[in-house]
Structure 1
Amino acid sequence: MPAPLPAPFAPEETVPEVLDRREGPYGEVVLRRHGGLLQIIANGTFLMDTSDGRSERLLVDAAREALGGREAPRVLIGGLGVGFSLAHAAADPGWGRITVVEREPAVIDWHTAGEAPPLAAVSGAALADPRTEVVRADLLEHLRTTTATYDALCLDIDNGPDWTVTEDNDGLYAPAGLAACAARLTGGGVLAVWSAQPSAVFEGTLRKCGFRAVRTEEIQVARGVPDVVHLAVKAA
């Protein structure tokens, strides 16, 4: 099981502490500590923190449920982030091979580099799991070039199809990107896509690209619109 998470969020007057700031291949990425939380900021926009993880767990669980009783399914997790999705998948002995694709070297380092990587409290046990492999690559490029196939793709890339921090990520949610996803899925395989907000347009694109059983699951948040997981199944 993953290690306990950091303490709850500190009062708002707490000044965030920058732990690392790098100019990566897709812009600036920052890891900072705000009270008991670790936060990832990309190009000045908040991406995620260690406060909860409910939506990341639902991303994995919804895909697993949609696969039914498939034995030892292989899953690709798109985006390492703070490690919640990986940790949750590795905590389930029912998953087979777990492949994580992350394009930011800094994010991988925050989980693995040095004697005490800042995000190892979330991901350390999962990264030590023999089922786990981490691939440093752009997700769309990986999907287009690998020969591997997966029973589930659990994608947590940027803020979702309607609001991307880096323009390069737009292509993943377009028809060509979804075709690349479908090509790497086994028959009856599941595509699960996290988003910061529901997208009826993206649901329509999934259907037009030949996916079936398209649906959206909501994750309630304290304020604002709910996070969601878009689910779709490749025809058998």
Structure 2
Amino acid sequence: MPATDAHRPVVLDRREGPFGEVVLRERGEDFEIIANGCFLMDTSDGRSERLLVDAALAALPAGRPDPSVLIGGLGVGFSLAHAVAEPRWGRIVVVEREEAIVDWHRTGPLGRISRAALADPRTSILRTDLVAHLSTATERYDALCLDIDNGPDWTVTQDNGSLYSATGLAACRARLKPGGVLAVWSAQPSAIFEESLRNAGFRAVSTEEVAVARGVPDVVHLALRGD
């Protein structure tokens, strides 16, 4: 097989849902998720997804037994698998609105990443829209780890933009326990989003970077609920 053929993407599944089209592709040994024609993520490098979870845990005040975490977006499963591998986490809730993505993990090829994590008794999957869930839920968490777009400045669907608005950040803050951590993954740094976090009443706002081969680094925006 020519070298170029080995790296040509092969569509494994394509579905049209209430939020648009989602596609699972295989490229060599890796899988890719495409949403509405926009590349979301692949399985080639999970460093930034793991940082999302690690940074949130590290930012929590010491002495919290079995802290709970809500992971916004199942994606390729790196964040969930990494959270489950950490015994200090207690309840682990994943919110994913795309039925196709959940299927690709439960019965499809992405199970190679998430199978053990999905079987862990601490894990539960909520098949719903993250923005709606944050606005209507009553449960509060020690940490929110959100990775549903390419970042606050590059949303996949227009509706997701409300998550990063003043109303959306207020909903995030309401879902956190006092001293809880909000961690938001982004494909690029955003000084505007940092200011939005401060204006929403978060404190200790910071940004951690993950170097990439080319271009600007991936980042995790961190902020604490202070009361």
- TM category (shorter chain) comes to over 0.9
Distance 1:221 1:11 in 2: 24
One-letter code aligned to 2:119: A
Shift of 1:71: 1.4
Counterpart of 1:109 (choices 103, 108, 128) is: 103
What does residue range 24-173 of structure 1 map to in structure 2 within 5 Å?
A: 24-69=17-62, 70-113=64-107, 117-173=108-164
Aligned to 1:179: 170
Q: Which runs of 5+ in 1 are unaligned?
A: 1-9
Amino-acid identity (%): 70
Shift of 1:175: 0.5
Aligned to 2:220: 229
Aligned to 2:9: 16
One-letter code aligned to 1:235: G
Distance 1:188 1:179 in 2: 15
One-letter code aligned to 2:116: A
Contact 2:61 2:179 in 1 (8 A): no
Q: Which runs of 5+ in 2 are unaligned?
A: none
Distance 1:209 1:147 in 2: 19
Distance 1:161 1:102 in 2: 18
**CA deviation string 1:86-123 (max 9, x = no partner):** 0000000100000000000000000013xxx2100100
**CA deviation string 1:130-160 (max 9, x = no partner):** 0000000100111111111100000001111
Distance 2:200 2:3 in 1: 46
Question: What TM-score, normalized to structure 2?
Answer: 0.96
Count of equivalent residues: 224
